[in-house]
């Protein structure tokens, strides 16, 4: 058993906007690139040019189809990485103390020197957010780019996780979710940000902004739609009538 | 155990150095920061200062390190030693390779330059490669636009002086309603995502029109799952609704378009349908102030949209009349198009109403004075904040040109082009068709061609025909079959060369085009054409030279391979003379430079052309003493001048007192200046010139100053495209240059000067009851055509491409997960794995483009899923339409531009027993580079 800190000074995490994520995988590969070159062992790839390529990724995108009761089906792109939970079961299950949650900012990390690759933490994580690197035999997970966000060698504006810096549609936001006045907390408040699987009791720090309602211009009760856009009233049905309207209207310009 | 934390180094060194260059992982051309460690590429991220991507970077761009180090990289020039298609080569020296090329090409140039066909695929150096071809003297040059999106580009230029992507963009910062029609995701990649992000952050609305609800359409607030090939009809129904309700911008139409221009209405006149013009050739309008005929651009004129003009027994009506008569017709009423489009009439009306509401009730005003080309001062810039974007989805149909025209006309009727919140041009656009060159095709052995190959025709006189009326070009561009083929027809080159129609060639020279695989229609047929022999046992296409950086499928089909570098090992210029990277607010261009030197015996293709050009004694490539003029491409970029003071790069030129921009002399240190500036240059449009660019004096003056134009060139938008009418007149029997009889009816019908919709040609040649399903491909966001699969990271995202089936078909055929289907078109059949997708037009199936690979290509294992279960839809699509018994070869292309009609495809499906591999199965080719390693633990140690 490994202990969690009683509380953390900040709750650094991600807010991911599911209304804006187009599923482009930019965050997935940017993360792969940064974390292959930086924190700990490289993220390895097995059989990279073969029949069953399989590598370590700290962030993956899953796509789900949703069929609403009425209206067309929808496709939701769902990026998933470690949620840096307040009650992180992956930490408490660790037999060596390799998994830990930082007291300064709440980031959950693996100290690779102490990791024995037993995989208990991956089993304990209800989100499937940890992957055992097959080459190194150690557990890998999102570090929230702990080696970027305080890095004096980077320009200040670049001190954000690689996935946030690269996201082309600005669907990923980074900040202190423990501070109700932070931009990320405000965004969560405005847009009804949600916990992933709250029933698991993990108290995830990362939040997801739900997709906005869709297909409002579809057939639906007239009175609702008329608020959006009343159907157009004709000025003419025939070309001749139209030209009459044209002449009259031009007089007014 | 208690809480313990190890000490962490929170400020590790990131890299030794950052080198800033331009991405080439797709066509988008973003700026990248390449982090170097120990002289090696360690990490790639977006360049925050760059005008295209402003710091962000897509999955492809971030995976560049895997492309740069891909095991599929070619290593040295190759000479074919086995039969074509076998992949058997021997490595040779550059001296031998260039000696072979010279030996083949020198006699052609001396005797019959047209026997060289030089086509350059996904080339980003077309102003250079076309210059080389022009100096060689062959008329047979083009890049890949003909099988990509020429319909969009040409329709835009003829209509309003530019289209989407490289030509212009939505006003992302102001638009309130954005309507997106089918796009190839890299057209363009990051800017659309960034724009959608801005729109979403403001809570503005997005409407997606696409049979498939993935990617951008997945986040659209409203999705219109339209029937493929019917977008034009849907758009014209919107036009019908807007006209009927009077929701059009009359002031804008009168001032800035040819809506008031008078058109000859006498069916017996040889000028029927042409504009009434004054002695200077200027189109005439009725002036509302004087009631008199007046040139459209006269200072003070108030063009009248309503009044006709009768003279010498002929009534001339303004274009606005013709437009109203056309689109108020009930055939365009929502009720009458709903079934064809697969969109209910109610929904079409609601969308039209929403467009009208936002355009006219949420108009934007920017407090910025400006002066128009007639000299009139305006206190404000008023905008209709509705914007559109579309690319290949609506282009790649045989009705694509007219559909693209319809979309441009819709934008113009709303008054939303070049106004705040609408569509904005990017310099050097706006640039109307009349400001572009015309095509040239006059061949003189031993001499350069008489001018640029590609351009814009304005009537039958501009076609590329020989004296006997036969096509001058191997691809039959600019002929009666497709008169306005501004980008050529790369997809017809191999087929025509094989058929000897219109003539035989000797050498096919290609660059960056995977023509024996995903870049061709009828892939199996093309492989046969490339390997077939004549009665003497000689190849029907005698010689093939190919340049590629990687071991693509096409490599096996060439006789001589000139290995290119990766994008991090080369010079390039993203030039204003070519396909620039400007933004609506700024002119910009950029370079690539070797951030690392190649570790193989490879050379940048453009540098090779500099040397080969000199060996062939091409005028533009030798000095007066016959010595080589440009040592390499970098030398050309720095020293070449297209016009006095205008070179490939507009930034950091040499002025009288120091560095200048736009026009200026050669600067020996120009490339160093670019490198110091992050790999690009940009210059801002003055505030007074930010909108209304085609008519805005401040913009026009600025454009002249930096060399985009030589003189101000204001113009009006062409709702009615008169050159199209000139082709119709010829088909009606007027004029000296006459089309062949078998094309008359088609020209009369399809070259309508006002947009029309007609069913895709394939519908008329196959039984639509039997082949009742539409089949499409899409390019994934994380993969650029065939290049992606060699990338160890990207292929883990897109290693499989099942055929996605909508719920209706899935249930109708009783499919289950993991099962297979036979998909049959009029041309061929494939057997492929299937998957269910609900968010899909109910009669449409689709798959990811270019995931399927040939065994032996790209340094992949022969058991790679791309080579076993991956497949191409190309096998079902022919470059010709099904024969109709007249003995003629009818291209499966748009009849106006010749654009490949990829998306007209109709198929039927049946469930079949599972098979081990997708069909057709092609035999493996021998890899010239071996296979990639079994494991990657990529980390640059310093």
User: Are B402 and B300 contained in the same domain?
Assistant: yes
> Which sign does the torsion angle of CA B221, B225, B231, B233 carry?
negative
A251 or B858: which carries more pLDDT confidence? Answer: B858
As a whole number, the mean pLDDT across chain B is 96
CA–CA dist B811, A27 (Å, integer) = 36
The H helix count followed by the E strand count for chain B is 25, 37
State how far the alpha carbon of B106 is from the alpha carbons of B78, B113, B385, B929, in Å: 20, 9, 57, 31
Span A180-207, average pLDDT: 97
Percent pLDDT > 70 in chain A is 95
Task: Write the residue in A34, A77, A169 that is nearest to B196 by C-beta.
Answer: A169
User: Are B511 and B396 contained in the same domain?
Assistant: no
A151 touches chain B (CB under 8 A): yes
> Cβ neighbours of residue B246 under 8 Å, at least 6 residues apart?
A235, A236, A242, A245, A249
B356 with A218: Cβ contact below 8 A: no
CATH number of the domain at B847, please: 2.40.40.20
Half-sphere exposure of B400 (CA within 13 A, CB side): 36
CA–CA dist B156, B158 (Å, integer) = 6
Question: Is there a domain that residue B680 lies in?
Answer: no
User: Are B231 and B324 contained in the same domain?
Assistant: yes
Q: What is the pLDDT of residue B941?
A: 76
pLDDT over 70 (residue B12): yes
Selected for mutation to probe chain A from B6, B176, B350, B795 (highest A CB count within 10 Å) is B350
pLDDT over 50 (residue A40): yes
A51 touches chain B (CB under 8 A): yes
User: Are B55 and B84 contained in the same domain?
Assistant: no
Q: What is the pLDDT of residues B194-224, one digit of tens each?
A: 999 999 999 999 999 999 999 999 999 999 9
User: Are B438 and B420 contained in the same domain?
Assistant: no
Scanning B240-269 for CB atoms below 8 A from A yields 241-247, 250-251, 254
String of DSSP letters for chain A: --PPPS--S--EEEEEETTT-----HHHHHHHHHHHHSSSS---EESTTSSS-EE--SEEEEEEEE--SSS--EEEEEEEE----TT-HHHHT-SSS-EEE-TTT--EEE-TTT-----HHHHH-TT---EE-TTT-SEE---TTTTTTT-TTS-GGG-S-HHHHH-TT--EEEEETT-TTSHHHHHHHHHT-B-SSGGG----S-EEEPPPP--TTSS--HHHHHHH-PPPPPS-SSHHHHHHHHHHHHHH-
CA–CA dist B260, B318 (Å, integer) = 5
pLDDT over 70 (residue B942): no
- What's this model's pTM, rounded to 2 decimal places? 0.97
Q: Work out how many CB contacts closer than 8 A connect A with B.
A: 315
Whether B477 contacts B438, CB under 8 Å:
no
Scanning B70-99 for CB atoms below 8 A from A yields 71
Question: Is there a domain that residue B932 lies in?
Answer: no
Banded pLDDT at B918 (limits 50, 70, 90): very high
Q: What is the pLDDT of residue A223?
A: 46
User: Are B108 and B177 contained in the same domain?
Assistant: no
Nearest C-alpha in A relative to B865: A51
B223 touches chain A (CB under 8 A): yes
B59 with A29: Cβ contact below 8 A: yes
Task: Write the residue in A38, A67, A215 that is nearest to B222 by C-beta.
Answer: A215
Q: What is the pLDDT of residue A220?
A: 53
User: Are B194 and B323 contained in the same domain?
Assistant: yes
Banded pLDDT at A175 (limits 50, 70, 90): very high
Question: How far is C-alpha A154 from the geometric centre of its chain's CA atoms?
Answer: 23
Question: Is there a domain that residue B533 lies in?
Answer: yes
Domain A12-209 annotated CATH 3.40.50.2300? no
- Pick the closest to residue B803 from B779, B820, B786 (CA basis): B820
Selected for mutation to probe chain B from A29, A131, A186 (highest B CB count within 10 Å) is A29
Residues of B in contact with A238 (CB under 8 A): 328
Helices (H), B542-618: 605-615
User: Are B480 and B528 contained in the same domain?
Assistant: yes
> Cβ neighbours of residue B489 under 8 Å, at least 6 residues apart?
B142, B146, B147, B475, B476, B477, B482, B891, B893, B898, B900
User: Are B791 and B837 contained in the same domain?
Assistant: yes
pLDDT over 70 (residue A227): no
Q: What is the pLDDT of residues B676-689, one digit of tens each?
A: 999 999 999 999 99
A26 with B864: Cβ contact below 8 A: no
B153 touches chain A (CB under 8 A): no
Span B490-503, average pLDDT: 97
Q: What is the pLDDT of residue B153?
A: 96
A92 touches chain B (CB under 8 A): no
B536 touches chain A (CB under 8 A): no
Nearest C-alpha in A relative to B243: A242
B53 touches chain A (CB under 8 A): yes
CA–CA dist B34, B31 (Å, integer) = 10
Residue with tokens 């761009």: B61
B1 with A2: Cβ contact below 8 A: yes
Residues of B in contact with A1 (CB under 8 A): 1
B63 touches chain A (CB under 8 A): yes
> Which sign does the torsion angle of CA A129, A133, A136, A137 carry?
positive
Could you say which of B382, B400, B425 is where a domain stops?
B425
Tokens of B300: 């003070």
Span B822-839, average pLDDT: 97
CA–CA dist A174, A163 (Å, integer) = 10
* Residue A139 to chain B, least CA–CA distance (Å): 15
- Pick the closest to residue B685 from B366, B375, B430 (CA basis): B430
Burial of B709 (0-12, 13-18, 19+ CB in 10 A): middle
pLDDT over 50 (residue B249): yes
Give how many domains chain B has, as a whole number: 4
Span A7-16, average pLDDT: 97
User: Are B408 and B265 contained in the same domain?
Assistant: yes
Nearest C-alpha in A relative to B71: A49
Q: What is the pLDDT of residue A44?
A: 98
CATH number of the domain at B469, please: 3.40.50.740
* Residue A149 to chain B, least CA–CA distance (Å): 8
B43 with A34: Cβ contact below 8 A: yes
Could you say which of B382, B408, B425 is where a domain stops?
B425
B786 or B460: which carries more pLDDT confidence? Answer: B460
Banded pLDDT at A229 (limits 50, 70, 90): low
Which strands, in side-by-side order, build the sheet including B17-22? Answer: B17-22, B31-37, B40-46
User: Are B192 and B322 contained in the same domain?
Assistant: yes
Whether B426 contacts B690, CB under 8 Å:
no
pLDDT over 90 (residue A70): no
A166 with B62: Cβ contact below 8 A: yes
DSSP 8-state secondary structure symbol assigned to residue B115: G
B936 with A48: Cβ contact below 8 A: yes
Q: Where are the domains of chain A?
A: 12-209, 223-252
Percent pLDDT > 70 in chain B is 100
For B260-304, strand residue ranges (E) read 262-264, 284-286, 293-295
Span B589-609, average pLDDT: 98
CA–CA dist B928, A150 (Å, integer) = 47
Whether B533 contacts B525, CB under 8 Å:
no
Selected for mutation to probe chain A from B48, B288, B937 (highest A CB count within 10 Å) is B937
Among B16-20, B565-569, B705-709, B883-887, the minimum mean pLDDT is found in B883-887
pLDDT over 80 (residue B186): no
* Residue B696 to chain A, least CA–CA distance (Å): 21
Could you say which of B563, B594, B615 is where a domain stops?
B563
Whether B549 contacts B566, CB under 8 Å:
yes
CATH number of the domain at B300, please: 3.40.228.10
β-pairing, B205-209 with B177-181?
A: parallel
A238 touches chain B (CB under 8 A): yes
Whether B79 contacts B92, CB under 8 Å:
yes
Selected for mutation to probe chain B from A39, A231, A246 (highest B CB count within 10 Å) is A246
User: Are B508 and B551 contained in the same domain?
Assistant: yes
Name the 3-class secondary structure at B371.
strand
B349 touches chain A (CB under 8 A): yes
B245 with A168: Cβ contact below 8 A: no
- Pick the closest to residue B877 from B255, B398, B546 (CA basis): B398
CA–CA dist B890, B884 (Å, integer) = 9
CA–CA dist A195, B587 (Å, integer) = 45
Whether B430 contacts B716, CB under 8 Å:
no
How long, in residues, is chain B? 942
As a whole number, the mean pLDDT across chain A is 94
Tokens of B481: 């079959």
* φ, ψ (nearest 5 deg) of residue B675: -60, -45
Q: What is the pLDDT of residues A127-152, one digit of tens each?
A: 999 999 999 999 999 999 999 999 99
Q: What is the pLDDT of residue B1?
A: 56
* Residue A63 to chain B, least CA–CA distance (Å): 10
pLDDT over 90 (residue B932): yes
Burial A194-204 (b: 16+ CB within 10 A, else e): ebbeeeeebeb
- Domain containing residue B784: 767-912
How long, in residues, is chain A? 253
Q: What is the pLDDT of residue B618?
A: 98
Nearest C-alpha in A relative to B324: A239
- Pick the closest to residue B502 from B143, B50, B117 (CA basis): B117
ipTM value for the complex: 0.96
């Amino acid at each position: 058993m490994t202990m969690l800190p009683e509380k953390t000074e900040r709750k650094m995490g991600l807010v991911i906007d599911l209304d804006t994520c187009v599923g482009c995988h930019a965050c997935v590969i940017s993360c792969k690139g940064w974390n292959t070159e930086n924190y700990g062992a490289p993220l390895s790839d097995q059989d990279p040019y073969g029949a069953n390529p399989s590598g370590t990724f700290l962030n993956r995108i899953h796509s789900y189809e949703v069929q609403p009761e009425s209206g067309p089906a929808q496709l939701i792109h769902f990026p998933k990485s470690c949620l840096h939970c307040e009650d992180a079961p992956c930490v408490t299950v660790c037999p060596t103390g390799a998994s830990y949650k930082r007291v300064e900012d709440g980031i959950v990390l693996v100290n690779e020197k102490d990791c024995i690759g037993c995989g208990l933490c991956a089993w304990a994580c209800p989100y499937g957010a940890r992957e055992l690197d097959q080459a190194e035999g150690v557990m890998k997970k999102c570090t929230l780019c702990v080696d970027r966000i305080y890095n004096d060698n980077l320009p200040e504006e670049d001190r954000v996780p690689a996935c946030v810096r690269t996201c082309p549609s600005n669907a990923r936001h980074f900040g202190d979710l423990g501070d109700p006045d932070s931009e990320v907390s405000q965004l969560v408040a405005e847009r009804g940000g949600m916990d992933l699987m709250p029933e698991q009791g993990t108290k995830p720090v990362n939040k997801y902004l739900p997709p906005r309602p869709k297909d409002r211009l579809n057939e639906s009760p007239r009175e609702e739609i008329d608020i959006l856009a009343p159907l157009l009233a004709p000025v003419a049905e025939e070309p001749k009538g139209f030209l009459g309207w044209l002449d009259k209207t031009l007089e007014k310009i | 155990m208690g809480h313990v934390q190890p000490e962490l180094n929170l400020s590790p060194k990131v890299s030794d150095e950052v080198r800033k260059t331009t991405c080439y992982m797709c066509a988008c051309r973003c700026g990248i920061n390449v982090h170097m460690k120990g002289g090696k590429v360690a990490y790639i991220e977006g360049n925050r200062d760059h005008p295209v991507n402003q710091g962000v970077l897509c999955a492809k761009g971030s995976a560049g390190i895997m492309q740069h180090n891909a095991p599929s990289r070619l290593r040295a020039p190759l000479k074919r030693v086995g039969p074509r298609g076998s992949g058997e080569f021997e490595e040779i020296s550059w001296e031998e390779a260039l000696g072979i090329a010279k030996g083949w090409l020198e006699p052609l140039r001396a005797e019959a330059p047209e026997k060289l066909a030089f086509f350059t695929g996904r080339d980003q150096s077309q102003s250079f490669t076309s210059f080389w071809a022009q100096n060689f003297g062959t008329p047979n040059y083009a890049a890949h636009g003909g099988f990509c999106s020429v319909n969009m580009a040409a329709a835009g230029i003829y209509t309003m002086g530019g289209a989407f992507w490289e030509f212009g963009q939505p006003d992302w910062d102001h638009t309130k309603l954005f309507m997106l029609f089918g796009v190839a995701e890299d057209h363009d990649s990051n800017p659309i995502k960034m724009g959608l992000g801005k729109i979403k952050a403001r809570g503005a609305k997005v409407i997606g029109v696409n049979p498939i609800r993935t990617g951008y359409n997945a986040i659209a607030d409203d999705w219109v799952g339209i029937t493929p090939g019917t977008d034009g009809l849907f758009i014209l129904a919107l036009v019908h609704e807007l006209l009927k309700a009077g929701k059009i911008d009359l002031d804008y139409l009168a001032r800035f378009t040819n809506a008031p221009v008078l058109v000859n209405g006498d069916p017996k006149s040889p000028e029927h349908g042409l504009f009434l013009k004054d002695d200077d050739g200027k189109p005439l309008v009725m002036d509302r102030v004087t009631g008199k005929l007046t040139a459209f651009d006269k200072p003070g004129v108030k063009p009248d949209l309503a009044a006709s003009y009768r003279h010498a027994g002929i009534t001339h009506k303004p274009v606005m009349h013709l437009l109203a008569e056309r689109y108020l017709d009930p055939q365009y009423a929502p009720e009458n198009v709903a079934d064809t489009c697969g969109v209910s009439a109610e929904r079409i009306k609601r969308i039209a109403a929403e467009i009208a509401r936002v355009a006219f009730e949420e108009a934007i005003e920017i407090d910025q004075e400006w002066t128009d080309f007639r000299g009139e001062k305006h206190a404000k810039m008023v905008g209709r904040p509705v914007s559109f974007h579309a690319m290949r989805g609506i282009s790649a149909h045989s009705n694509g040109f007219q559909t693209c025209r319809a979309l441009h006309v819709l934008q113009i009727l709303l008054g939303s082009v070049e106004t705040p919140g609408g569509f904005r041009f990017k310099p050097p656009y706006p640039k109307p068709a009349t400001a572009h060159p015309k095509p040239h095709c006059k061949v003189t052995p031993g001499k350069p061609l008489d001018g640029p190959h590609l351009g814009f025709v304005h009537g039958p006189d501009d076609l590329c025909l020989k004296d006997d009326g036969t096509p001058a070009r191997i691809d039959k561009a600019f002929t009666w079959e497709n008169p306005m083929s501004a980008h050529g027809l790369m997809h017809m080159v191999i087929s025509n060369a094989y058929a000897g129609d219109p003539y035989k060639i000797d050498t096919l020279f290609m660059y960056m085009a995977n023509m024996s695989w995903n870049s061709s229609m009828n892939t199996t047929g093309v492989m046969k054409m490339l390997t077939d022999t004549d009665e003497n046992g000689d190849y029907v296409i005698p010689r093939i030279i190919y340049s590629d950086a990687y071991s693509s499928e096409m490599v096996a089909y060439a006789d001589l391979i000139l290995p290119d570098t990766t994008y991090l090992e080369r010079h390039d210029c993203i030039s204003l003379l070519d396909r620039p990277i400007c933004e609506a607010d700024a002119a910009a261009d950029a370079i690539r430079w070797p951030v690392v030197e190649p570790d193989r015996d490879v050379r940048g293709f453009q540098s090779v052309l500099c040397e080969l050009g000199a060996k062939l004694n091409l005028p533009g490539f030798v000095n007066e003493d016959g010595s080589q003029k440009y040592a390499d491409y970098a030398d050309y970029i720095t020293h070449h001048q297209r016009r006095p003071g205008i070179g490939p790069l507009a930034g950091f030129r040499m002025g009288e007192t120091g560095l200048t921009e736009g026009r200026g002399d050669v600067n020996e240190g120009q490339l160093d200046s670019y490198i110091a500036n992050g790999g690009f240059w940009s210059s801002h449009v003055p505030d007074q010139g930010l909108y209304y660019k085609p008519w805005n004096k401040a913009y026009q003056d600025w454009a002249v100053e930096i060399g985009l134009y030589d003189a101000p060139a204001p113009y009006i938008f062409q709702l009615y495209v008169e050159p199209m009418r000139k082709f119709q007149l010829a088909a009606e029997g007027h004029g000296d240059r006459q089309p062949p009889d078998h094309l008359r009816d088609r020209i009369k019908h399809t070259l309508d000067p006002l947009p029309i919709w007609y069913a895709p040609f394939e519908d008329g040649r196959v039984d639509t009851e039997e082949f009742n399903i539409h089949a499409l491909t899409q390019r994934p966001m994380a993969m650029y055509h065939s290049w992606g699969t060699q990338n160890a990271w990207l292929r883990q995202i897109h290693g499989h491409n099942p055929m996605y089936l909508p719920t209706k078909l899935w249930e109708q055929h009783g499919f289950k997960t993991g099962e297979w289907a036979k998909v049959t078109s009029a041309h061929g059949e494939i057997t492929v794995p299937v998957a269910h997708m609900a968010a899909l037009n109910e009669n449409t199936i689709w798959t990811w483009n270019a995931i399927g690979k040939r065994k032996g290509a790209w340094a992949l294992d022969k058991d790679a899923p791309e080579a076993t279960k991956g497949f191409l839809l190309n096998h079902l699509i022919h470059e010709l339409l099904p024969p109709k018994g007249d003995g003629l070869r009818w291209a499966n292309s748009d009849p106006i531009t010749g654009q490949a009609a990829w998306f007209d495809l109709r198929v039927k499906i049946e469930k079949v027993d599972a098979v081990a591999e997708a069909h057709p199965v092609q035999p493996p080719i021998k890899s010239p580079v071996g296979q990639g390693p079994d494991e990657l633990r990529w980390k640059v140690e310093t």
